[in-house]
Amino acid sequence: MLCLILIVGVVTVEIDSRLVKFVRSPAFTVEASLQGVCVSFAPLFLFFSGQGMSYHGHEWFVVPLCFAVICLVPLVYFRLGAQLSRS
């Protein structure tokens, strides 16, 4: 029998009020929803576009948009994490 004991500690991080405003803003809600698209649908759309299965005539728009979502959306979390780790 495998026994697993977890010791749970509470960590409190004080953050700047500017970051609190950003995290509670509607912009962060949009960012969080784009993160789901970034992980699931953008690679799928790239696959379909590469196979020529969809978006006939609109590949010039869909492919760069998918790459932008995949590459740029995580940068917000990287910047937020960097600011939190500095404090």
Quote the DSSP letter at residue 4. Answer: -
Question: Between 68 and 84, whose confidence is greater?
Answer: 68
**Domain ranges in the chain?**
59-87
- Which pLDDT score is estimated for 2? 56
Tell me how far apart the terminal alpha carbons of the chain are, to the nearest angstrom. 42
Number of alpha helices (DSSP H) and beta strands (DSSP E) in the chain: 4, 0
* Predicted confidence (pLDDT) at residue 87 exceeds the cutoff of 70: no
Is the pTM for the entire model greater than 0.75?
Answer: no
pLDDT digits (tens, 9 = 90+) for 2-61: 555 667 777 777 777 887 887 788 888 887 887 877 788 888 888 888 887 777 787 788
pLDDT digits (tens, 9 = 90+) for 60-69: 888 888 888 8
Give me the count of residues in the chain: 87
